[in-house]
Structure 1
Amino acid sequence: MSDWLISLEGTAAGHHLALALAIMAAILHAAFGALQKGRRHDPWLTRGASDISYAAITAPLALFVVPWPEPHMWPLFAGAWALHTVYKILQAMAYSRGAFTVVYPVVRGTGPLFAVIGAYLIFGETFNVVQWIGVGVLLSGIFGLAFYNLMFLTAARDTLPAALMLAFVTGLLVASYTTFDAYGIRATADPFTFLAWFFFIDGLTMPLIALHRWRRMEAPPTPGPLMLRGAIGGVLALLSFGAIMLATRLDNVGEAAVLRETSTVFAALIGWLVLGETVGPRRTALMSLIAIGAIIVEMGG
């Protein structure tokens, strides 16, 4: 499978597969974000349970199935681990302070602009005028949504500014890890070597933080339902992050990063239908601008 995937790099078929992978990543990441936030569950504990699940899934693949990483890959794994750990801590802090439909669009929408800039600086990728218009439409939806929430949202008003600031900084980390992961998965001969070892290493930190938090709780949740939730989250995270990493190896990093942010539409639907959060027509329209901007970027390319 690795040889087949590598043969598609830079081809029309590879572009179409990258497109499908980015959309798949968008849907699955929205579901994973909703699972982490939820209504009754601590986002730190859910993240820890999810991470240990995908570490357990990928450990045998990393140790016994995929080719062993080349020596130059270990510093890249360390860098990816650091970026993703900071991202996950910031995201859990944001989820602890704001509603899912408030935090998620800002996190996922802020990332593409800086991912596009990073793709230009590192990979020499450029956007044309139409694509930059799409980025502008996307950003108008993001910052319009943030302004609307600051002005009109009544729930959790005291923590909303902090939630939005954390969401914005988390978006910067999304751009950083997206670009860095794209570099990492291109630096090894077998992309599945990067995926297996990344998820194995990355999944070992948040469970320790979650365990520490669980022990300090006055009424900690029972482990059984939490681990079941974590198992589902682990599969969603593995498929979502794995799909976008493969997409950035097959095709342009910037386009894949922007297209993935159509996840905000799926997040809005999940927040409304599953989490019972009020979205409303104005916020729905602003979230739609984010998705429309991503579509313009893809069509312009």
Structure 2
Amino acid sequence: MPISGLSLVLLAACCHATWNLFVKRINGGAELIWLFSTISSLLYLPLLLWVVIAERPEFGPLQIGFTLGSALIHLGYFLMLQTGYRKGDLSLVYPVARATGPLLSSSFAVLVLGEVMTPPMAVGAAIIVFGVLMLSGGIKAGARRPSSSLAFGLSTGVLIGSYTVWDAYAVSILLVPPLILDYATNISRAVLLAPIAHRRRALVRQHWRDHRAGVLAIAILSPLAYILVLYAMTFTPVAYVAPTRELSVVLSVLAGSILLGEGRLKWRLAWGLVIVCGTAILALSGG
């Protein structure tokens, strides 16, 4: 794996873990997502205009179609995940989604983008996926509605794999600037959640009053985390990037144990080490 690509993904994982920590601390719902998505759209607008003016990207029907398609797939992912959390069991939906997402991303990359999966890459990716599954809680036999929970988890994983490969094609083959691709997703999310935010406007004001610094951190770091991943995918195969992104899960759960007192630190450290070993195998398996 190219060292520059690994560096971008590691930086993205740190950004992802940090904004997720703020989300946990604020403990908001859809109204919080609308708030930071809207603020992100405003903060990144000057950068968007600069990219359009400086890079003058070619935007034909195909580029426009893929940008809109990316926004729709990301929205589908968000809706599927939220529905799964409401109608299924979080202890099943989350680990299944996190484990199947990178697995399917790598598989789709081989099938759709023609990437090559070597045996060391497959071993490294498999170790990461299994480690993430266990770190996220594993499959629990006593979960409520296990069949529907598994269905939602798998469906969410399919959407993760789909948008990863779709976006990789958009930024690496169609040369859509990563910032533009991510910006379209932010705008779409803000528009979709506007009615909910209006109904919960008192909560929106409360989040902004009590957690302004945290909301601003999320608004900056949430898009940045995925923009860095998108830039990495412009020159690094998805089969490397997708599993390595899961290091953000390690950082998130360790931060939860250490900073938020969620417990199980030894368990999380052990499986975090497994994921790091898998990442090392993956990183050393190619150029």
- TM bin, normalised by shorter chain, reads 0.7 to 0.9
**C-alpha separation between the residues in 2 aligned to 1:58 and 1:289?**
36
1:295 counterpart = 2:280: yes
1:235-289 deviation per Cα after TM superposition (whole angstroms, max 9, x unaligned): 1122210111111112212101111111121011111123332234335433443
Runs of 4+ in 1 over 6 A off after TM superposition: 95-99, 159-164
List runs of 5+ in structure 2 lacking aligned partners. none
* 1:198 alignment counterpart: 181
Secondary structure in 2 matching 1:205: helix
* 1:87 alignment counterpart: 77
Secondary structure in 2 matching 1:222: helix
**C-alpha separation between the residues in 2 aligned to 1:218 and 1:252?**
43
* 1:186 alignment counterpart: 172
Q: State which of 8, 20, 43 in structure 1 corresponds to 2:7.
A: 20
1:123 counterpart = 2:106: no
Secondary structure in 2 matching 1:300: coil
Secondary structure in 2 matching 1:276: coil
Cα RMSD for the two superposed structures: 3.2
Query: CA distance change for structure 1 residues 229 and 98 in 2, over 3 Å: closer, same or farther?
Result: farther
Tell me the amino acid that sits aligned with residue 45 of structure 2.
A
**C-alpha separation between the residues in 1 aligned to 2:50 and 2:268?**
48
* 2:256 alignment counterpart: 271
Q: How far apart are 1:201 and its partner, in Å? A: 1.9
Q: How far apart are 1:78 and its partner, in Å? A: 1.0
Is the contact made by 1:25 and 1:243 (CA closer than 8 Å) also made in structure 2? yes
Query: CA distance change for structure 1 residues 43 and 107 in 2, over 3 Å: closer, same or farther?
Result: farther
Secondary structure in 2 matching 1:196: helix
Alignment of 1:208-227 (within 5 A): 208-217=191-200, 220-223=203-206, 224-225=208-209
Alignment of 1:104-119 (within 5 A): 106-119=96-109
Question: Comparing 160-169 with 212-221, which one deviates more in the overlay?
Answer: 160-169
* 1:235 alignment counterpart: 220
Is the contact made by 1:62 and 1:196 (CA closer than 8 Å) also made in structure 2? yes
**C-alpha separation between the residues in 2 aligned to 1:265 and 1:297?**
16
* Residues matched between the structures, number: 279
List runs of 5+ in structure 1 lacking aligned partners. 1-11
Tell me the amino acid that sits aligned with residue 213 of structure 1.
I
Question: Comparing 211-220 with 111-120, which one deviates more in the overlay?
Answer: 211-220
1:63-89 deviation per Cα after TM superposition (whole angstroms, max 9, x unaligned): 454214421310010111111111223
Tell me the amino acid that sits aligned with residue 124 of structure 1.
G
